Structure 1
Amino acid sequence: MAKAVLDKKLAASVNILPKASSLYFWNGEIEEATEILLLIKTKTSKVHTLSSYIRLMHPFEIPEIFSLPIDRGDAHYLKWLEESMKEE
Structure 2
Amino acid sequence: MDSGSTTVPSIVVYVTVPNKEAGKKLAESIIQERLAACVNIVPGIESVYWWDGKVQTDSEELLIIKTRESLLEALTEHVKSNHEYEVPEVISLPITGGSAKYLEWIKSSTRD
Runs of 4+ in structure 1 displaced over 3 angstroms?
none
The aligned amino acid for 2:84 is P
1:75 aligns with 2:100: yes
The CA RMSD over aligned residues, in Å, is: 1.0
* Aligned mates of 1:72, 1:18 — CA distance in 2: 26
* Aligned mates of 1:71, 1:34 — CA distance in 2: 31
The equivalences for 1:1-88 within 5 A come to 1-86=26-111
- Unpaired runs of 5+ residues, structure 1, are none
Which TM-score applies when normalising by structure 1? 0.94
* Aligned mates of 2:99, 2:44 — CA distance in 1: 30
Query: Percent identity at matched positions?
Result: 39
- Unpaired runs of 5+ residues, structure 2, are 1-25
Measured after TM superposition, the shift of residue 86 of structure 1 is 3.8
Which TM-score applies when normalising by structure 2? 0.75
The aligned amino acid for 1:24 is Y
Higher normalized contact order (CA 8 Å, seq sep 6+, divided by chain length): 2
* Aligned mates of 1:38, 1:70 — CA distance in 2: 16
**How many residues matched?**
87
1:22-68, Cα deviation, whole Å (9 max, x unpaired): 10000111001001100010100000000011011111111111110
